[in-house]
Every structure is written in structure tokens, then in C-alpha cells.
Amino acid sequence: MVFYRGVSLLSKLRSRAVQQTNLSNSVRWLQVQTSSGLDLRSELQELIPEQQDRLKKLKSEHGKVQLGNITVDMVLGGMRGMTGLLWETSLLDPDEGIRFRGLSIPECQKVLPAAKPGGEPLPEGLLWLLLTGKVPSKEQVDSLSQELRSRATVPDHVYKTIDALPVTAHPMTQFATGVMALQVQSEFQKAYEKGIHKSKLWEPTYEDSMSLIAQVPLVAAYVYRRMYKNGNTIPKDDSLDYGANFAHMLGFSSSDMHELMRLYVTIHSDHEGGNVSAHTGHLVASALSDPYLSFAAALNGLAGPLHGLANQEVLLWIKSVVEECGENISKEQLKDYVWKTLKSGKVVPGFGHGVLRKTDPRYTCQREFALKHLPEDPLFQLVAKLYEVVPPILTELGKVKNPWPNVDAHSGVLLNYYGLTEARYYTVLFGVSRALGICSQLIWDRALGLPLERPKSVTMEWLENHCKKA
């Protein structure tokens, strides 16, 4: 197919210089691939049969092709590096970072429609790209924004369910509880109970997924206002796009904060299928659990300190540096503090990644945002110093495969600058963003008829005996 051959060509861009040289040609080609229709569901109805045939051909002609060898290290190391999932919406390269349907973050920033000239991409545009593999026009994005706004209503029982929890409960606990309370409206569950052909399962999945994506900002904003603003909620503004409206409901009217939220939601939306939240959502959905149940499970994985909760830990650690050493800390003082952290048995939060082996492009685009909007902010300047100080120390330590900063190293400082200072809440923002990627893939899971996930497990005795024979 022409589109996927084009994406394959894009994914071979290896350096920033080469990317810049070829980007204009890539952009022109992708713009040709847009469709005239404004309805996302209709676009999927055209694409799905083609991709179903593509999957059948791949399985029948190449199903026995080996993808690599599994080692004992992989089995004992949490299946690290095993190729074992189909995830169409994004691919993570150890050197290049994330690509959404073949497009890098800089490319997405260039080709996806924005709210204003030269601004950050609209999350609705990325959602269209994730679902269709095509760059949408501004008119298509506006149409999708309108569809999401029409779905953005939350039943009262959801808020009452959240209110049954102590106001001191962690924001992620309250958020996941709200998502579970939304599940009673699942169109997928109703359709399955009535009886539906498996080839049509994607249709109620689409309905649930789009409603869920539209509703999670309202639930998340309610949690924030309940915890930190005495329960004084702010109604949605139907004149605003997805990211700006989320910021508005949280209580932020700054146009720069709206831009930050558009960028934040876009870059946090997806990170291929192997991370904890994405994999959990896929795993639970493979049992034909509906999107609400699947996404709630994903949120519980995201709440772990080794995954989404890390963004909370980064800002708290940075503030501890300031409290002990002051804002104008020198690089030498910072080195001493980093070594102190490491020698105490702790990690420096925000550095390292399970897959990436270079600086996370999501970190880089946030750094560029900061250089543009808040270059003099003391906490940003501290983050910039950490970028220079921490990697050499981690390299010297010799135990870290990737000493470079990841997405979490920067996001908290940007949010803090614009007044969202409650670090415990940051993972909820991550969760709202991740709804786009998880739900997009879930629709394709159903469309392609992907089976129940059931890997094989073994005991240590089995491994020992196997290794003796080997």
C-alpha cells in the first residue's frame, strides 16, 4: 500500500540533518494523502477492510518467519526487548525515539494543524493521525473537535462515586475510580450482550473509545478542583479545543498554558505497546473487556512510580535540591547532590529509559518550549544544568544503559511555571493524554480481530534444566 510504503521511508530518516533535508518532501507527500471527508468513523470504515486483508496476508505468507531468539535474561528481565506485540499507532526506536504512524515529534509539530500559526499541534489532529495513518486537514480536526465536544458529558453518578472517596486519596485513585464509574454506559458491553458478529466489534469499541477520550478531561478536572480548589468546578467551554479546554477546566486561562497543554497531551499520547499502561490496556482488552475497563486497568499501571508517577517524583526531587542548595546552585554543588542521591541508594528521577538510548525527543521538544516561553525561570535553568551534569555521572557509574533525560525530566517544571504546582496530580495529566493512544490501538485491536493475549510462563527449575541441556 502506498501509505505504508511512505511511512516506511519516513521511518528510515536517521539524523536530524537528514530529517530536515527530507522533511519538506515528506510533508508534501503526506498532505496528498488526506481525504475530503470530515467524519473520522467513515474514514475508518474505508481503511479497516484494507488492513484486515493486509494482516491476513502477513499471517498466511510470513507467519513462520522468526523474529529473534529469546534469552534467559529476557525471561528474567521482565520480557525486556522481546518482540511480542502488534501496535500500529506508534513505534519506539532506541535512537530516534517515538514515531507516531511513522512521524517523529518534530515532523508532527510541522505537519499537524495547530490552534494558531506556528503553535503546538492540536491533540485532535494526532488522534486522527493515530487512527488513520493520515495527516488531517484543519477542517477535519475542527470536525473531530466538535464530535468530542458533543460527547463530553459525564453522568452525575460518576462524580458521586468519586466523592465517596476521601479527598486525600491519591489523584490517580480518584481518576481511575471515575473511569470505572463511566463504564456503566459502555456501548460495547451492551452490543456484546445482545450478540454481535466479531467483524463488527470495532464499531461499539469506537463509540466507547471516542466517548471515553471526550470524557476523561472532565473527570480529571473534577478530581483536581475537588482536591485543590475546594470543589469549585469550572464548566467546559465549547469554543475551545481539546487541550485548551482541559486547561480551562483545571482553572488556567493563559494562552501559553493552553499551548503547553496541547503539546503535553500530544507528546504523552502514545509510546508503542510495550510500556506498562499501553500493554495493560491491550492485555485486558484482549479478553474483550470494554474500553472503560481496559483503560482503567491501564491507569492503575500508569500510577506506578516506575512508570507515570515518575513525573511527580522529578519535580519533588528538583524542589528538594532547591531547598537544600538554593536556586543558584553551581554545577559542582549539583554534582555533589547527585552523587549524594545515588550513594543513598536512590535514583535520579527523570533520567534513563527502558528502550531509549539517547535523549528523549519528548524532553527535547519541552526544552524548546521552555527556551521559547520561560528561558529565565530558575527551575528550568536547574533542569538545563542537570542535563549537563547527570549523564556523565551515570555513565561513570557504569550501571545505566541510558544516562539521558526522559520525558518526565522536564514536564513538571513547565507545569509548575504556569501555576499547576501540585505534583501529586501530574500523573493524571499523563493519563488523560494516554487515552488517545490506548483507545486508538484498541479500536484497531478489534478491527483486526487480535486474539486473547496468552504468553507462556516457566519456572526457575524449567529454566535451569533447559540451560543444562543447552
Using an 8 Å Cβ cutoff, are 89 and 128 in contact? no
Nearest to 301 by CA among 293, 289, 290, 309: 309
**297/277 Cα distance (integer angstroms):** 8
CA neighbours closer than 13 Å in the CB half-sphere of residue 374: 23
**307 catalytic per annotation:** yes
Instruction: HSE, CB side, 13 Å, CA atoms: give it for residue 317.
Output: 23
Q: Which residues are CB-contacts of 327 (< 8 A; sequence separation ≥ 6)?
A: 378, 379, 382
271: annotated active-site residue: no
- The set of cell numbers assigned to 361 is 525527543
* Residue 430: partners with Cβ closer than 8 Å, 6 or more residues away: 268, 302, 308, 311
**CA-to-CA dists, residue 151 to 41, 144, 147, 161, 261, angstroms:** 14, 11, 7, 20, 20
The residue annotated as part of the active site, out of 170, 279, 307, 410, is: 307
Residue 304 has a CB neighbour count (10 Å cut-off) of: 14
Q: Are 104 and 22 in contact (CB under 8 A)?
A: no
Q: Which of these is catalytic: 271, 353, 410, 445?
A: 353
Q: Which residue has the cell 465517596?
A: 164
Are residues 122 and 114 in contact, defined by beta-carbon separation less than 8 angstroms? yes
Q: Residue 298 corresponds to which cell in the numbers above?
A: 491501564
- Quick check: is 353 catalytic? yes
Residue 394 contacts by C-beta under 8 Å, 6 or more apart in sequence?
348, 351, 352, 400, 403
Please pick, among 279, 408, 410, 445, the residue that the annotation labels catalytic. 408
Residues belonging to the active site: 307, 353, 408
